[in-house]
Chain A
Amino acid sequence: MATSQAAKEINRNNKNQRVDQFYVSFLKLPENVSNLLGKQTKMIDRPNLTFETSMTNHRHNQFQDMNQVRFDPVSVTLFDDENGLTRQYIYTQLFRQLNRGADVFGRWDVLDRDYRFDVKMEMFNSVDELIEGYVLRDCFISSIDHTQMSTDDEDTETEITIILTYNNIDFFIVNEYVEFKGGIPMEGAGQARTSS
């Protein structure tokens, strides 16, 4: 049923991606928590990266060199539900980072405690087919920002904005993802197919 890669290449759809065609999952947090945060996510940055450069001068010529890649932190804006569930989970994660709570494996006081989590982002087209996705690896919350409380404003709803810092990005196009999910090796996975 899914549109094949060949059909996509021939069709060359003129329809652009819309900003609401995405879904975010928070991995390595307790199951029900990560599910709720997927619903509460209002906005998320797509990962921006920069290649550092350096210059080499050689015989009156200047050469540009590419150095390390640097990942910009990702900002996530969450709806803040009035019963405080969303912030409760975020604060629990902060306590984990501060060594004030159990880690993802239930451990309290060990040296190799793992407080980092992963964030999976999936992008869809308008007929809800998965187009691409990526996982931000080893995230932690490096900043948290709350909406200001105010008695003179009756309309604004509070939000929580967290900045996620991470080590790496696992990027997958859909063929690799299908292989990963199904567990069945696919020949030429990750490459564009020109015929079926």
Chain B
Amino acid sequence: MYPYKYNRQFERYLSQFKRVLSGFQVQDGVLRDGSYNTRRVKVVYGSMSRVVASIFNKTTFTNHTLPLIGMHLTSIEKDTQNKRNYHHVDHVAYTDQYGERQAYSRLTGPAFNLMVDVDIYASSHDEMFEIMEQILLIFNPRVTIQVDNHLLNSDYLTEIILESISNDVNYPTGTERQVVQQSLTFRLPIRLSYPMDMDANVIQTIISNIVVDSEDGVDVIDELVITDDGEA
């Protein structure tokens, strides 16, 4: 078995993405003096069919459900352009808070592109344009997000890139009521990072121990046990 290492990295990227989208407001009622109230647009995670189903399933369908922004991950693609040499171990020397010289080694993880669809559901075209305008003013051309605040994480920044915009009128399954919906496709380049305490030794141990060759032949190990300190 491999040591259990899980750091919720996809979730952290997606939650930061969601944070970028949450905070847009729409006009909500005009007062007698001509001023108006605003209401924050909710952001949910889910594909279009699920989000629409949840809207229609409500027993009291009121305007307060809409507008709504739904986002979901559509695909994870390999980002070979951003690949770094996997033989590289990045050595960093620094002085810690006690004045001691420290050395730190880290591996560079694999790079991916997260393709994220953002669907805007609104009760009118006017409301749709209201939200669209605000979003498109922000993505000019990219929004940079921070996903970590650790000093030694070299992938703490990434970008959200607007790839395409499409305007669809959909008829969700099981209903004849049309849904006016605007879809934006975003690309989020990410790099998964190895746990902070893991250096090259662990990975090399895994690779080289799966097959043990000798002068007589090749022995295959049935089960590989690797402890947290990298010893097999």
Interface of B is mostly: mixed
Q: Are B90 and A36 in contact (CB under 8 A)?
A: yes
> Does A112 belong to the interface (CB within 8 Å)?
no
Tally of chain A residues near chain B (CB < 8 A): 25
> Apart from A7-B215, A22-B85, what 8 extra A-B contacts exist at CB < 8 Å?
A1-B212, A35-B90, A36-B90, A79-B84, A127-B208, A128-B204, A154-B141, A155-B161
> Does A171 belong to the interface (CB within 8 Å)?
no
- Which A residues are within 8 Å of any B CB, using their own CB? 1, 3-4, 6-7, 20, 22-24, 31-32, 35-36, 38-39, 41, 79, 122, 124, 127-128, 154-155, 157, 196
Q: Are A39 and B212 in contact (CB under 8 A)?
A: no
Could you count the A-B residue pairs with CB atoms below 8 Å apart for me: how many are there? Answer: 48
Pairs of residues from A and B, 6 with the lowest C-beta to C-beta distance, nearest first: A23-B87, A39-B88, A154-B141, A35-B91, A38-B88, A39-B84
CB contacts (< 8 Å) of A36 on chain B: these are 90
Q: Are B86 and A157 in contact (CB under 8 A)?
A: no
13 A–B contacts, CB within 8 A, in A order = A4-B215, A7-B213, A7-B215, A23-B85, A23-B87, A23-B88, A24-B85, A35-B91, A39-B88, A39-B90, A128-B207, A128-B208, A157-B82
Quick one: closest B residue to A195, CB to CB? Answer: B215
Quick one: closest B residue to A35, CB to CB? Answer: B91
Quick one: closest A residue to B105, CB to CB? Answer: A35
Question: Roughly how many angstroms separate A127 CA and B204 CA in the complex, as a whole number?
Answer: 9
